[in-house]
Chain A
Amino acid sequence: MKQLAEIMKDIAAQSLSRGEVDLVIGWQKGPLWWQSYPAFIEGNEGNGETGSLTWDSFCVPNLSRYLLEELPERKKVALFVKGCDALGFNQILQDKRAEREKVVLYGIPCTGLVDPDKVESAGLGRGLLEVKRDGDELVFVYDSGEQKAQARDFLYDKCLTCRYPNPVVYDQMLGEAAPVQPEERFESVQELEKMDADERFAYWARQFSRCIRCFACRNACPACSCRECIFDIPEPRWLGKANELSETQFYQIIRAYHVAGRCVDCGECTRVCPVNIPLQELNRKFIKDINELYGEYDAGVDPEQEAPLVTYKTDDPAAFTES
């Protein structure tokens, strides 16, 4: 992976100095082992910042989303994409919020990213300096030495169910294709479906009652691309400001509904949630139902295809009794 980071630095330095792009979006390391943040590098030769680009097991932020803000003001942008970033990019294309020819995509085959919470709960976080990926293993680096462990035990849940670790769209692929070994992704949705209505309501009310309405789930989402969001507009004021469960339920239901049929299942909503609401279980319910009713559809795979809720067939089935 070290190697890949070096390639990324070279690409960024070259394309900026040649003037091919005026912005490179990648990841850079924060001060702590689990911090890999989005990096925005611009200017002539990147103002010497291209060396800060990195690729490690924590480069989880989905970068495609940033095109919404950056692209209108740029001539051309270079973007590093993992599998889920590429799906997000395609979704933004389908929503006509980006022009393909204004973006240069460098594809990164992804072998899954590490959930810092899992490292901490395994008791490995104390004194940890760095986590390196070595094939199927992780190497935890401490002052006192190194420790190895199976990588799959520490990956994000969303990475364990990932079906597109290799970018579906790119101009240049960096590295060999990653293995695709997804676990069943609808298991938790099916568990919830087995409960009765009151139990389910209580479950979700408990989850939603933690929501602080920070809108991180909306802001991180590549499918939430409206220029004007109904949660922001003052008139009509759909969402009130009060700390009231029904307002939160309104927000959560409408947020999930607005990305129904367009959610690429990248799981960024769940990851960025500061209060650990399993938002992906909401999005996946829509994915599962729409697949069952209107045919298998994977958002973000083919931007030329129509999203299932913006099209129809005359002989569609319905989830209500038609007479």
Chain B
Amino acid sequence: MSLAQEQAFEPLIVAFCCNWCSYAGGDLAGTSRMTYPANVRVIRVPCSSRVSPNLILRAFQRGADGVLVAGCHPGDCHYVTGNYYARRRFSAMRRFLEYLGIEQERFEVHWISASEGSKFAAVMGEVTEKIRALGPNRKLRDAR
């Protein structure tokens, strides 16, 4: 990759947002006219525990530089317990990806409620800057 291309690197972040909290938080950020980086592609899911590791890996395979899962704060899950399961499973998954050599920053989990529009914008900004600093992800990517 040439220097010019390196400088032009724009990270691609896939954010799985739960319908009830984080997606609504993103909506609030939008209706409040807050700005956050356009690098983030939001995918609406029913619950953070709906996001299977298959989806996370598929995102990396198809070109994501970072993957984010956002859900309701523990205790606030629309389905009562979904994010409690998600917390355990993504904790295990995050450490496992790190063990395989994928930088920890590339897979993040955040709890963002429907009222936290500003937090939504801030988190998306932080994640984008972290990944920008890390550079493009080649690990796990399908080279074809």
Let me know if A204 and B74 touch, CB within 8 A: no
* Chain A CB within 8 A of B39 CB: no
Q: Is the interface of B mostly helix, strand, loop or mixed?
A: helix
The answer to whether A323 has its CB under 8 Å from any CB of chain B is yes
B16 at the interface (CB under 8 A from A): no
Q: Is B33 an interface residue (CB 8 A)?
A: no
Q: In the complex, what's the smallest C-beta–C-beta distance from A312 to chain B, in angstroms?
A: 4
If A238-B54, A246-B140 touch, does A204 touch B95 (CB 8 Å cutoff)? no
Of the candidates B75, B87, B92, B102, the one whose C-beta lies within 8 Å of that of A197 is B102
Shortest Cβ distance from residue A212 to the other chain B in the assembled complex, whole angstroms? 19
- Whether the Cβ atoms of A250 and B57 lie closer than 8 Å is yes
Given A250-B57, A312-B81, the answer on whether A201 and B91 have CB atoms closer than 8 Å is no
Chain B count of residues within 8 A CB distance of the other chain: 37
Q: Which residues of B contact A293 (CB under 8 A)?
A: 88, 91-92
**Which residues from B are CB-within-8-Å of A205?**
101
Which residues of chain B from 80 to 124 have any CB-CB distance to chain A below 8 Å in the complex?
81, 84-85, 87-103, 108-111
Which of B101, B111, B142 is within 8 Å of A200, CB to CB? B101
A interface footprint on B129-144 (CB within 8 Å = 1, 0 otherwise): 0000000000111111
Interface size classification for chain A:
35 or more
Q: Is A229 an interface residue (CB 8 A)?
A: no
| CB <8 Å contact, B91 and A204 | no
Q: A242-B144, A312-B81 are in contact. Are A199 and B96 (CB under 8 A)?
A: no
Complex Cα–Cα for A242 and B142 (A): 10
Report 18 cross-chain contacts, Cβ distance below 8 Å, ordered by A residue: A193-B99, A201-B102, A204-B101, A238-B58, A242-B144, A249-B100, A253-B100, A254-B53, A285-B95, A293-B88, A309-B92, A312-B81, A312-B88, A313-B84, A314-B84, A316-B87, A319-B94, A320-B109
A309-B88, A316-B91, A318-B91 are known; give 11 further A-B pairs, CB within 8 A.
A197-B103, A249-B100, A253-B57, A257-B96, A260-B96, A289-B91, A294-B88, A309-B85, A312-B84, A320-B109, A322-B111
* A residues whose Cβ falls under 8 Å from a Cβ of B: 189, 192-193, 197-205, 230, 238, 242, 244-247, 249-250, 253-254, 256-257, 260-261, 282, 285-286, 289-290, 293-294, 308-310, 312-314, 316-320, 322-323
List residues of chain B with CB under 8 Å of any chain A CB: 53-54, 57-58, 61, 74-75, 81, 84-85, 87-103, 108-111, 139-144
